[in-house]
Amino acid sequence: MIKEILKYNDIFVSNGSYKSFASNKYPQKRLAILTCMDTRLVELLPAALGIHNGDVKLIKNAGGIILDPFDNTIRSLLIAVLELGVEEIMVIGHTDCGAAVISPETIIAHLIQRGIDRETVRGLKEDGLDFEAWFKGFENTEAAVEKSVSLLKNHPLMPANVEIQGFVMDITCGRLDSVS
């Protein structure tokens, strides 16, 4: 697939197809969105929100959640706020999320199946890697979004005038429901 993509990319560039995407690094809408890496959101989310190239900082991970107050997601949001002019943040979870149903036990079983040594897993656990926290799913998407929103609102490095709101998107139709 990467080979095919590289071929497509050559044509895209040589055709000048990039010209309609011209923009800069400062988000026109002064908005950052944290959401899930779900494949169904790749085009649905921007379309359902009416956002285009240059409009927003879009940060994605599995579940669209924040695991730890000093993780890479928070870092990205702080850079967006402090360096790139973001004034509002939307945290958007979604229905039928694949990251909600993961479990540390299953992930570890899959690691072993894929040839990772049990000793490696055990060693990392002993060194302090918390598999339970790292690969924990969530039963309630609204609660997971609320938790991330609360973590952001109460973050010691987040300026108080940043507007932060949480939502769940219905993956079947793109409707946003407010959760906070």
Binding site for Zn ion (CB under 5 A): 36, 38, 97, 99
124 versus 171: smaller Cβ distance to Zn ion: 171
CB of 38 or CB of 135, closer to Zn ion: 38
Helix pair angle (118-126, 104-113), 10° resolution: 140
Q: What contacts 92, CB < 8 A, 6 or more positions away?
A: 33, 34, 35, 36, 45, 64, 145, 166, 167, 168, 169, 176
Tokens of 8: 């497509």
Smallest gap from Cβ 66 to Zn ion, in A, equals 14
Q: In what order do the strands lie in the sheet with 176-178?
A: 56-61, 31-36, 88-94, 163-169, 176-178
- Minimum separation from the CB atom of position 134 to Zn ion (A): 16
Q: Taking the complex as a whole, how short is the minimal distance between the CB of residue 99 and Zn ion, in angstroms?
A: 5
CB of 27 to Zn ion, least distance (A): 23
Residue 65 or 81: which CB sits closer to Zn ion? Answer: 65
Of 43 and 126, the one with the shorter C-beta distance to Zn ion is: 43
